[in-house]
Amino acid sequence: MDRFPEELVSALKEVVENSGWRCVGEKERFRAPCTKLYSEDGEHLVLIQADGKFYAMDSACPHEGGPLEQGDIEELCNGRFALTCPWHYFEFCLEDGSSSSGLQNQVYEVKVCEGKVYIKTPNALSLTPWKNSKCERSDNTESGESAKGVEDERSLTYWASRILCTADPEEKAKLTQQTQELWNAGKIVDIGQTQPPTQPKRKESLTIVQPGRIKRGKGGTLASRIALLHSLANIEQWAIDLSWDIIARFAQFQLKSGEKLPREFFSDFVKVAGDEAKHYCLLQKRLTELGSTFGDLPVHNGLWQSASDTAHDLLGRLAIVHMVHEARGLDVHRGHYSDSQLRGMKAQPRYWKSFTLMRSLMWQLV
């Protein structure tokens, strides 16, 4: 059989691409209920198979960015199907992306033609992450555009943002310790200014669930000890990010007197981040000795939920995240403890210098 001219093949490919339909692979390849598809623009999709039919929607929950590809498919009372976010259990109709919570998720047309699955989207899709993908910024920053001041490696906020955008836990801890050394040596001269990511990056393979669904055990067996260590390692990872986020997010904050936050404020949080990184490395080492590693078990993001709620309020961030969660064990939230248990816990700050400074600052904020 004669081959088609290359010019004709190229022209047909261009027509297909301009139509917006993207072939993602053979139908038989997508037997799992949910498959994450990586979009060239960073707004990834999830391909869902329910009752023999394919659907597609944005993979990030519109509430707080939960990984919908890790959610469960449920049948609604009207015979339609919905995908439930594993973080806060918001459900999204597969047909139109609507939710009983009032949230709306973006959906995409899906067709199966000659055994291949096509999705209508203007951006190229892949089953693996794009090599040149960049850390997503908040809505105030254009995709791929550097935030103000982030180019200057001599600024503290540059390193804070870089660490927040680092998904690999070992690399995050390593960068934290390096940044602490640079700061203490006076090689980072400015605080700087940047827009941190909406949420710190995590490995795509990490399974994130609701806080109440994490089972720790009591340490009586090997599996239970591994679960406890894994939970602590997760806490340390979020504690690292919480320290860098408050540095980056409130770098230009001004007190009522008009003064900016003192340099000691940033030094204390650099120290906290460095300590948390050291703790994580010790926990990861012990997990390895026990035949496990961080990421083998599900984790939760309960600490970050409080940080997200206080993203625009320094006083709230200091009071809730650093003087409650961190002071009382780093993992205190209503998903784990009853009201009576919470009231009975005594605050035992681990960084008295930092908390003394926090209390002083809070008097100037109120």
pLDDT above 80 for 322: no
Cα–Cα distance, 332 to 107 (Å, whole number): 36
User: In the β-sheet with 34-39, what is the strand arrangement from edge to edge?
Assistant: 107-108, 53-58, 45-50, 34-39, 125-126
Domains in the chain with CATH codes: 18-126 (2.102.10.10), 156-365 (no CATH)
Which residue type does 209 have?
Answer: V
More confident residue, 1 or 166: 166
Phi and psi at residue 55, in whole multiples of 5°?
A: -135, 165
- Over residues 45-60, the pLDDT tens digits come to 999 999 889 999 999 8
Cα–Cα distance, 243 to 157 (Å, whole number): 11
Question: Mean pLDDT score of the chain, rounded to an integer?
Answer: 80
More confident residue, 33 or 303: 33
Paired strand residues for 120: 21
Average pLDDT over residues 82-103: 90
**How many helices, marked H, and strands, marked E, lie in the chain?**
9, 11
- Over residues 3-29, the pLDDT tens digits come to 666 766 566 566 555 568 889 999 988
Radius of gyration of the chain (CA): 23
Q: Would you state the pLDDT for residue 274?
A: 95
Nearest to 309 by CA among 228, 202, 198: 198
pLDDT band at 330 (very low <50, low <70, confident <90, very high): very low
Strands 107-108 and 53-58: antiparallel
Q: Tokens 């955008």 correspond to what residue?
A: 165
pLDDT above 80 for 357: no
Cβ-based neighbours of 295, under 8 Å, separated by 6 or more? 169, 203, 205, 206
Taking the CB of residue 5, how many other CB atoms lie within 10 A of it? 9
Q: Would you state the pLDDT for residue 171?
A: 95
Q: Which of 132-136, 242-246, 362-366 has the highest mean pLDDT?
A: 242-246
Q: Would you state the pLDDT for residue 148?
A: 40
Paired strand residues for 25: 117
Q: Would you state the pLDDT for residue 346?
A: 37
Q: Would you state the pLDDT for residue 104?
A: 94
Indicate the SS3 state at residue 56.
strand
pLDDT band at 351 (very low <50, low <70, confident <90, very high): very low
Cα–Cα distance, 296 to 207 (Å, whole number): 9
Q: Would you state the pLDDT for residue 120?
A: 92
Q: Would you state the pLDDT for residue 280?
A: 95
pLDDT band at 349 (very low <50, low <70, confident <90, very high): very low
Which segment of 127-136, 151-160, 241-250 scores lowest on mean pLDDT?
Answer: 127-136
Cβ-based neighbours of 330, under 8 Å, separated by 6 or more? 235, 238, 239, 303
Q: Would you state the pLDDT for residue 57?
A: 95
Q: Would you state the pLDDT for residue 256?
A: 83
